[in-house]
Amino acid sequence: MRQKSTGEFIQFLSSKGFHLTDDDIAFIYFGKQYTGACDELVNVAIETTLKIQVRFDGSYYIALLEALEQSGAQNSYEAKRFIQNKELVTNT
């Protein structure tokens, strides 16, 4: 299965009823550029932020994205494993 780009993931979320504001989307791309994270890690950070915060929280998202980058996660599997090991969510 092909991994969605961040743009495709945002469109997918919108189709499921999770509408992000233009400011949220701009911040998502800022965080991606700031950390140098790949789309897979960005998408996991967005998904986890929405699951935990029940809305998009920019500070939580950027902190999580930085943690994922520092953990050395290279793909969504490793990112989700890191999140589970940190007990941020029980099932990502």
pLDDT tens readout for residues 58-79: 999 999 999 999 999 999 999 9
pLDDT of residue 86: 84
∠ CA 85-87-92 to the nearest 5 degrees? 85
Query: CA-CA distance, 5 to 89, in Å (whole number)?
Result: 23
**Segments of the chain with pLDDT less than 70:** 1-3, 89-92
The pLDDT assigned to 2 comes to 62
The whole-number pLDDT of residue 76 equals 92
Q: How far is CA 8 from CA 5, 40, 82, in A?
A: 5, 11, 24
The pTM of this model reads 0.90
71 burial via Cβ count (<10 Å: 0-12, 13-18, 19+): middle
The per-residue pLDDT for 20 is 96
